[in-house]
Structure 1
């Protein structure tokens, strides 16, 4: 028990020895210093922005006034000159501003003086009297430039050499005259031939006089800023020091509470301000922490016991107890809300050999990894359970269609658990068998649903494992008779119950047809349409795969030989078939009997099972010698790795569907697929992307040297019967003929 008696006296905190709490560190690390700095920065920024804007506006207005005054003085000057020198003419711009004066002779030569009776000095004096500012008459020489007719000194532009020719045109700006800088308006004087002979300049004042107001404003602004900052520092430091004096001790009180030292009463609770309110709030927190600590330890203990009672200690998945509770809850919602669900029982195939061969440590790792893979497949509302041993269960919440959604999840479980496992340095592959019961179709009690799913699971095991079955009425626990199943397969071949579907393989370059992959189906008289996973593995177990494989190769060759255009056909061959000594004769005879060009046939080998180099390599070399292509399927996963491309004579690879499925979601998968494609193309291999189902996946492969890649998947076509293939190829043939 935690002692909840509080010590009801204020403890003097030893903050004098603690430099971090007292503020013996640098002043700008304290609250006082930071507040002072922030306020000063704020004032500095605000004042700087305001004063800067003011100075900018003063400059702008001043320059506008200078330019207007210079233009006015130029107008007055030109007006007086025209009254004195009646023979001159002027040019002006669209605003009426005189931009040049045309005169036959310079104003300062003797003949002009005699004709007008005006000396240039008299004219300049008259202009200066009208403008109240100095005026100068300049002469121009191509070598010397502009010079003052009164002092013979050279005139220069303040802005520098780049604007040295500014006086040759109408100009307003600063000019150096007789050692002083003036803001002037200058009008060029040209003869009637357009040659420059001088200029007349009227000033509005010296630079120092014009900038006197501006400089005084800057000086006053700077002095005011310094004064405000000084006052701010003094006032803020005084206020903040008095305001935040209790803060270090309150900080220490909170720190002690965070360290679960809750035996000291919080100081400063008697202050009648925000600090006092803060101290009282901290005290409430301390008292609450005392109570909370006790309750939390009790709650954690209860939660731990609850978790241990309902979860498997190895995989951390819910256990059988949680399974029963969850099923009962789902059944209650089924009756009250109509929420339907599925139960999937999963049994790992070949778990016992792995456990016996590699030991229980590897077996435990395999169970943990299997649990993680199953959990990753769940949607919201679904649940994964470990029932015990190598048995798992999935409770699937149904949104619309029980059968479709259960089948989709079951296929994903099969694909996921078929991927190779690596545990303690050992790599191996397993599979699983699945039995499915749907509520309420297959039962509305926990016992019925489990028993029916278990019957379906047993049926899956009887069909050779690595498959799934739904419960159906009449299922029993009697094991299937392999001899009977063998006869069913033989009868199916003889009665043409097996047939082929073909899935199109498309070139990315022009979306034309490259070829087709042959996919076998079985129209079972009692069980209906069966997919390959229902009978291929069983056929391998009972030794009928060679017979079935021979029918498949022969049928595919016969169909392809009758196609209207020469397209390739790919036939899946398992490693079991490659170990059969007669496989070479089967392929050779199928080609001879059908008349199919060997270059149009491809033998497709999955990488889900390790290939025996000593046995299979000679067989593949012999098949290649026939001119038949050899395809490595599911490249990038399982055993289908890069070293296979070096060891075995593959001419074509198919990127694994599992890598393509996550292209839209996983950037790492895009990098990996891109690397595999580039490597294969560099080795001169054909590349097919298998399982392309979305536009994004199609566009991704189109960006990877798309002209050399083929694609296959539902985005282009589902598997169709041979009659549809014939019609499609006939249509393509007609279109190509029309293009010619």
Structure 2
């Protein structure tokens, strides 16, 4: 029997496995890894030492040659200048190298040119001819430094931090002129008093040309290193393939199985030796673990879905489905064991003004607080339920006196709910009205007890609210004031007060193209305005009017959908109450014939609010399927819509409950469940729809699953619209398609 402990019930999570610590397997601990590492290290050290020594020696010899050549070119330059300009003197160092040229007049002034018959260009040409490399005559300016007399470009030494000071003395090294780097020898030109006039610079070549041999050697060295390493890799790879590979791979396979990673097939099963036998044994273990893991995941998912099926997502109280199951169990015990019980229907007074004034967030907090207070009043074997909106019920187990015990509990409920509530800083005061029916005194069926308790609840509201009444024979309701009264619903059908709205169902892998619509009934009440299904569907089921309302819904939906494009489908909800007889099959057949709608475009959605009787329902669903009509299990994951239904009944489609989609962007468990359900659908050939998609993030998570059978519906794609608006949307879609073509 369901008791008050249900509210604290949580999903039973299988006991976690004990994981024993073990050292992580690294490739470099293997024989293959060690051989490869030692071989590579030896090659790198030997080759590195040899190539490094060679490069060092090449660099040393190259620089010595450059310096000698630069000194020789400088000597040639000074010799030619002394032969041309007789008034020029030179100074040499202890090695005989000319380090300074002295002259009283610049070498490029007019008087010097007239006396010698040589202009600077002729002199430089002569030097270049002798040295086979460019030469420059530089003039010194204190602000600009050394400037070429011909190109007016600045020459800068790049081997010294202070490049100007470097050229003021005898210099050998790299210098830049005109964006090019040269290795040069530079001799300063000064007066006898030591004033710097300029410099004569001769080159031995550009840096790139001088470094060509060095770079070629470096490239060859690197090429040889890469070649040797490549040969080493080939050798090591051969060793792995022929000697060492099977053992570490099989160890890794066992480790993966121990970590429950069973996606990879065990290798080396085709080897005709002990390794092959070991691989086959490991593969058997892997297959067994795969089957076990799949069954375990299905069991965990079933447990979570079972909890969600019987509990209200907001208050965590048992929901209407749990209420129906519990009251059926108690009625069964009443007939077999004589165990009596009471049904208390509780309706919050003035809840709607609070919700309208402060918003749904405050309203939800108030419902949660009310649920907590009700739960605190429950006794042994009692059960509190949230039936929907601001309506609650308590199934009270009677020990001795049903009337007295019900009065006592009702008094406590009235007192508890009349005390002020504090929600988000707001102090709120409400009250409650209670209707009581005792079993079997006031009925021995679920429908009778609910109807009689509802009459008593109406009486409490008529007496000014904040009170309780027992059902008594002769109690009646005023149809004009009670929306749940059967005559008013019948009048609504007869007066065409019910209308259909349609919510689009879109594909997730086709640019959100509309696949079809779900027909949703609304009641345009002449007094209360537009009413949603939760205001009248459940009561219609309880008082036996759901077949009449469902018949109207089928005929209307088929008639309107017949005018849509042939690619669009329509889904119609059918209550489990309608599946108890074959009458629904004839209703569907007539609706299709009268409307001319293709059966393949109609889908019948079966809600999970009631448990399906296999013996009675299965033949009916098979007959509907024989008409060519699709069958969809609605609200999968809540109510009685569980995994076994997909196996027992001929459903080709199921819709994931919005309770899972609501938190898919916040809960890893929800994402895992939805992913598992989509994978299950793909494996078993089901179409699947995600209900209640309201945000971009939810849409993207679902779209990333990449399943072509997956569709979605919800406010993110648009709210339910009437038939006129649907026709407009379809015409607009047709125009867009035509324009794209």
Please state which band the TM-score falls in when normalised by the shorter chain: 0.3 to 0.5
When normalised by structure 1's length, the TM-score is 0.44
When normalised by structure 2's length, the TM-score is 0.44
Which structure carries more relative contact order (alpha carbon 8 Å, separation 6+)?
A: 2
